[in-house]
């Protein structure tokens, strides 16, 4: 279970702690290819003072051929240590959309052993709208040691998913828009089949977010209930490439779910595997 009151921090809370060495501020911005936004360039143009940029496509296992797959614990430790982040700090992540890619980076730090990871409520849009300070330019932080240890229980591979699809032992929840889940709209990444994993349910991540913030517990509960998802049962979240699946994992945790894992490869992997079963149309009843 995730305590919403301590997982999210306000802009006021963070503004009062700028410059505190016990806090690491991380810009986790990432956008879908069709958004035509350059997150790294936007960071260089304007970011919260003291923040570092976490590039999802570089702090990743780039050898996998899949987008932003989790790196090894050793690789993560080196890369994040070079960003000046330690697992002993309070790590505050935000993104330029409000709440889109920050949950993926929040999840990644937690999976890699960080004990205190927060999300800035409202993200960078709220920070800017309130007229809070920003800075520009490249950032060169002093390196720190990050002691990383992968919590494999929170991650699922395609091998795991083949078994779970076959035996229906967990509920698979897909965060993609309904049109993509049903196979009515092509995937934004070339070469992927349209549709979804047999037996999976669809709760679009966008249905859980309003004005860059996570919706209320009652709204979240209603969204999962409407899709036939019981938060008390084991769940695996999935999406297009493992980013918005973390929004589902975050939302589920805030309403009491305790057994939630994330399929790291998500549809980028499953939809590209010719022998992985794919169906179209609405979720099975």
CATH code at 39?
3.40.250.10
Query: Looking at the domain assignment, is residue 53 inside a domain?
Result: yes
Residue 283 lies in a domain: no
Task: Answer positive or negative: Cα dihedral of 82, 247, 124, 136.
Answer: positive
Contact assessment for residue 92 and residue 15, using Cβ atoms and an 8 Å cutoff: no
Tell me the pTM. Answer: 0.97
Question: 1 pLDDT exceeds 90?
Answer: no
Q: Are 261 and 162 in contact (CB under 8 A)?
A: no
11 and 140 co-located in one domain: yes
Percent share of the chain, pLDDT over 90? 96
Same domain, yes or no, for 262 and 141? no
Query: Within 10 A of 147 (CB to CB), how many other CB atoms are there?
Result: 13
pLDDT at residue 132 tops 90: yes
Residue 264 token pair:
């790291």
Say if residue 92's pLDDT is above 90: yes
Find the domain containing 32 and state its range: 4-150
pLDDT of 284 reads 86
CB 170 within 8 A of CB 257: no
Query: Would residue 239 show up in a list of annotated catalytic residues for this protein?
Result: yes
Q: Is residue 230 part of a domain?
A: yes
- Among residues 90, 103, 71, the alpha carbon closest in space to that of 2 is found at 103
Q: Do 77 and 203 fall into the same domain? A: no
Q: How many CA atoms within 13 Å lie on the side-chain side of 29?
A: 25
Q: How far apart are CA 167 and CA 198, in angstroms?
A: 11
**Token representation of residue 82:** 């070079």
In a domain, 281, yes or no: no
* Pairing mode, strands 213-214 and 209-210: antiparallel
Residues written for the chain: 285
Using alpha carbons only, how large is the chain's radius of gyration in Å? 18
pLDDT(12) > 80:
yes
In a domain, residue 217? The reply is yes
* Total of domains in the chain: 2
Domain shared by 118 and 11, yes or no: yes
Tens of pLDDT, residues 103-126: 999 999 999 999 999 999 999 999
Domain contains 284: no
* The one catalytic residue among 239, 247, 249, 252: 239
């Amino acid at each position: 279970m995730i305590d919403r009151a301590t997982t999210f921090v306000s802009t006021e809370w963070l503004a009062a702690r700028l410059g505190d060495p016990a806090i690491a501020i991380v810009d986790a911005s990432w956008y879908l290819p069709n958004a035509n936004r350059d997150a790294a360039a936007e960071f260089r143009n304007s970011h919260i003072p003291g923040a570092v940029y976490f590039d999802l496509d570089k702090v990743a296992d780039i050898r996998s051929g899949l987008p932003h797959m989790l790196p090894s614990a050793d690789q993560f430790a080196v890369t994040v240590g070079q960003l000046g982040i330690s697992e002993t700090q309070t790590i505050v992540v935000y993104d330029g959309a409000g709440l889109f890619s920050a949950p993926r980076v929040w999840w990644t730090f937690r999976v890699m052993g960080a004990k205190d990871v927060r999300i800035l409520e409202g993200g960078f849009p709220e920070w800017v709208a309130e007229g809070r300070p920003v800075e520009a330019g490249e950032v060169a932080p002093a390196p720190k040691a990050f002691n990383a240890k992968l919590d494999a229980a929170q991650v699922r591979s395609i091998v795991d998913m083949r078994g779970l699809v076959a035996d229906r032992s967990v509920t698979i929840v897909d965060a993609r828009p309904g049109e993509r889940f049903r196979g009515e709209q092509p995937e934004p990444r070339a070469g992927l089949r349209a549709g979804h994993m047999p037996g999976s349910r669809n709760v679009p991540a966008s249905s859980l977010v309003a004005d860059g913030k996570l919706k209320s517990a009652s709204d979240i509960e209603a969204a999962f209930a409407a899709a036939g998802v019981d938060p008390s049962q084991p769940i695996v979240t999935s999406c297009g490439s493992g980013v918005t699946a973390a929004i589902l994992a975050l939302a589920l945790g805030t309403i009491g779910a305790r057994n939630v894992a994330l399929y790291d490869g998500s549809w980028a992997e499953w939809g590209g595997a010719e022998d992985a079963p794919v169906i179209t149309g609405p979720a099975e009843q």
